A and B are shown apart, each in its own frame.
Chain A
Amino acid sequence: MENKPRETTYEVLRRHGIDRRSFLRYCTMLTAAMGLPGSMVTQVVQAMESKPRIPVIWLHGLECTCCTESFIRSSHPIAQDIILNMISLDYDDTLQAAAGHQAEEIRRRLIEEHPGEYLLAVEGNAPTKDGGVYCTVAGQTFLDVLLETAEHAKAIVAWGSCASNGCVQAAHPNPTGATPVHELIHDKPVINVPGCPPIAEVMTGVLTYVLTFDRLPELDRFGRPKMFYGHRVHDKCQRRAFFDAGQFVEQWDDDGARQGWCLYKMGCRGPMTYNACSSMKWNNGVSFPISSGHGCLGCSENGFWDNGPFYQHLAGVPLPGIESTPDTIGKIAAAAAGVGVAAHFGSFIAKRALFGEGRDRQADTTPAKGDEA
């Protein structure tokens, strides 16, 4: 916290007894974890050698702490590495030792002594109804805390669907007037990292990207990093071949369930959900919801809670050129050739119907281009 020059990540690692070779190996792994090509390793090394540990203030508003819990599950890099070697997590009421006045003092001092230098990570969102009484910290409304901390932040990371979209507390009738960060703060860069929670390695990947390159990753029009939210779960789903072939699970205990057929008819939101679950998977690649037999809930999409019932798929959506609905796609698929295209088109239509603003979202399917050199 003192006003002395901060050490670079490399210096910290050196003093921790890590030799140059291990440091380089670490940088190579980090580069891969961020999904960057091998040619970028030199740049990562340079960044690690010259950048000090950036102070981070991590606030908690209306939330359930699942984002913090996800964060500490990260496998590459592990949370310990981030907390001890890459950032200086100066304020985080879930993990920090200090409490009460001592905790608040850290936040105030950082705002006063290092304006414009710290990252603000927000988990949860702010209630705006009834004067903001539904979430207070040290007697202050969370809304106030958020605004005053954001004012001098370098940039803001909105963790999870709460901070990015509103999530469960903003579902109808939104009793507390829960409002996501980007609707409250307009004069700072905000990275939205939706998901309930986001995948651990997506969280640490976003952080390490910002730390390494000192700039935000390429974002889509909803403020989400394209490298993790550029594709639909459906695009890379392991059950996709069954979708295209029209083989659907119809009952939770039918043979299709045991064979791993497509969960579309069981309510899967994979065709409408932009997230990295089917490519990166969860908890160091062990599985993801669809792989474990349950449809995708669409937890990274805006308003997904009000998009239920979760176990009901969209029925009665006519397909152009075919007098059919997704219900009968399966039967047609069994009979017709080239039906994958039709089925895909069916999901495209279904998506538009599911989300009021779906038309716009379609524009964002282009994958992130090869990263900046």
Chain B
Amino acid sequence: MSTRRVVVDPVTRIEGHLRIEAMLDGSGVIGDAISSGTMWRGIELILEGRDPRDAWAFCERICGVCTTVHALASVRAVEDAIGTKVPRNADIIRNIMFLTQYVQDHVIHFYHLHALDWVDVVSALKADPDATSKLAHAVSPRWPKSSPGYFRDLLTTLKNFVESGQLGIFANAYWGHPAYKLPPEANLMAVAHYLEALEWQKEVIKIHTVFGGKNPHPNYLVGGMASAIALQSDQAINIERLNMVRGLINEAITIVEQLYLPDLLAIAGFYPEWTQIGGGLGNYLCYGDLPQDGIDSPEAFLFPRGAILDRNLSEVLEVDPRDPEGIREEITHSWYDYPEGKQALHPWEGTTRPNYTGPEPP
């Protein structure tokens, strides 16, 4: 049987630059695939020789979509090196910021990055607003924006947008492809929620603005957090600011429970075969997070630490990030060079030496 090579470059709706080369057998099944990140900046090299207190800001710029996590990892690494335990309040603020990002990022990934692989925007034009309203009620009975009129308005907007001939970000896509499985009503509902989630994500992220001054790229601080807490001060994190944070958290809970999760489950129901695809090599590693008693007490993390090998979910293995044999970075499949022909090193021993040997662009 003849094989075929399919290249997708750029892979869109991700952060960064990615290229996928897939080898298809005669029956159209992918037998092998290669993915390459096609952007490199060398942040590790830029960090060398800097004041460690500044490192978080450089690391934060690794990604502006998951803006926070690299900064958090960096301040913790520096605090670990100098043996500082941060105040409990700082840990609480960091946990709130981490979770804000975690929730906002999941919702954005689902609606604005991934959903267009399952949701056919053009098919939504064929939807019946009354039936869409019924579907929306069935999927999430308490979500308010689900009247027939609401969906009729959206349908008009969508029709006019498509008829203008300027499809913008929806241009030249795969609309109508048989791999799209949702009925028109589910597509219309998903488009509505795409727009609602776009509106909401800019709200929840204000939690970062309260504690970190801005988002994307809020400020962190080695040793704690810079936002002073003084409940009765007009210049610090006071009762009004905390009320605002509480309100935004409550809104986020509503969005997750009444929009995101019901949609996720409803759409997943049409694509059961997707649960059999992917999963990587079946080995998973999690350092754990959300410390309740400092970063040195992983046993008190709300997200536990552990490793799973060979998809064996019944056994969670212990992880010691300091063990030189436990965690290693390999360069076998990357464009880096290690000293003396080494292939794997613990991150503390790791070096960053670019060695690009891939294809030369024309």
Residues of chain A whose beta carbon lies under 8 Å from any beta carbon of chain B: 1-2, 4, 6-7, 12, 15-17, 53, 55, 60-70, 72-75, 78-80, 83-84, 87-90, 92-100, 102-106, 127, 130-141, 144, 167-169, 171-176, 178, 196-197, 200, 252-253, 257-260, 277, 282-284, 286-294, 297, 299, 305, 308-312
Contacts and interface: CB of A to CB of B under 8 A. Distances in A.
Interface string B231-242: 001111000000
Given A173-B45, A294-B213, A80 B198 contact: yes
A253 B19 CA distance: 48
A289 B209 CA distance: 8
B356 A133 contact: yes
B268 interface: no
Contacts of B157: 16-17, 84
Given A73-B202, A105-B172, A282 B61 contact: no
Given A67-B64, A310-B54, 4 more contacts: A15-B164, A68-B64, A95-B12, A284-B206
A348 to B, nearest CB: 25
Main secondary structure of the interface of B (DSSP, over half): loop
Contact of A294 (B12, B15, B219): B219
A259 to B, nearest CB: 6
Given A80-B198, A310-B53, A283 B206 contact: yes
B166 A288 contact: no
B156 A16 contact: yes
25 contacts: A1-B165, A4-B165, A6-B164, A17-B157, A65-B65, A69-B216, A78-B199, A80-B198, A83-B168, A90-B167, A90-B168, A93-B13, A98-B173, A99-B13, A102-B174, A133-B360, A137-B38, A168-B43, A174-B46, A175-B42, A175-B45, A258-B233, A289-B213, A292-B213, A293-B228
Contacts of A171: 46, 58
B211 interface: yes
Contacts of B13: 93-97, 99
Interface stretch (B3-11, B131-139, B254-262): B3-11
A155 to B, nearest CB: 19
Contacts of A94: 12-15
B115 to A, nearest CB: 10
Contacts of A95: 12-13, 112, 169
B202 A84 contact: no
A311 to B, nearest CB: 5
A93 B61 contact: no
Contacts of A17: 153, 156-157
A283 B248 CA distance: 13
Given A73-B202, A308-B54, A282 B40 contact: no
A240 B356 CA distance: 50
B362 interface: yes
A65 B64 contact: yes
Contacts of B127: none
Given A131-B361, A294-B219, A310-B57, A100 B8 contact: yes
Nearest to B64: A66
Given A69-B64, A131-B361, A286-B206, A259 B9 contact: no
A202 B356 CA distance: 38
A137 B233 contact: no
A178 B42 CA distance: 11
A65 B10 CA distance: 15
Given A1-B172, A106-B172, A140-B361, A135 B39 contact: yes
A97 B116 contact: yes
B195 A282 contact: no
Contacts of A75: 202
Interface string B152-177: 01001100110011111111111000
Interface string B22-47: 00000000000000001111110110
A174 B9 CA distance: 26
B91 to A, nearest CB: 15
Given A84-B161, A106-B172, A134-B41, A168 B228 contact: no
Contacts of B54: 308-311
B213 A83 contact: no
A93 B167 contact: no
**In the complex, which range does the number of interface residues on chain B fall in?**
35 or more
Interface in B54-71: 54, 57-58, 61-65, 67
Contacts of A253: 224, 228
A197 B17 CA distance: 19
A93 B354 CA distance: 26
Contact of A297 (B8, B57, B166, B201): B57
A69 to B, nearest CB: 5
Contact of A292 (B202, B209, B223): B209
Contacts of A132: 361
A72 B198 contact: yes
B214 interface: yes
Contacts of B195: 80
Nearest to B219: A294
A168 B239 CA distance: 36
Given A62-B39, A69-B64, A169-B41, A294 B236 contact: no
B171 A1 contact: yes
Contacts of B174: 97-98, 102
A139 B153 CA distance: 43
B43 A283 contact: no
B182 interface: no
B358 interface: yes
B236 A293 contact: yes
A61 B16 CA distance: 9
A175 B45 CA distance: 7
B17 A60 contact: yes
> Which of B7, B166, B169, B214 has the most A CB atoms < 10 Å from its CB?
B214
A97 B360 contact: no
A137 B169 contact: no
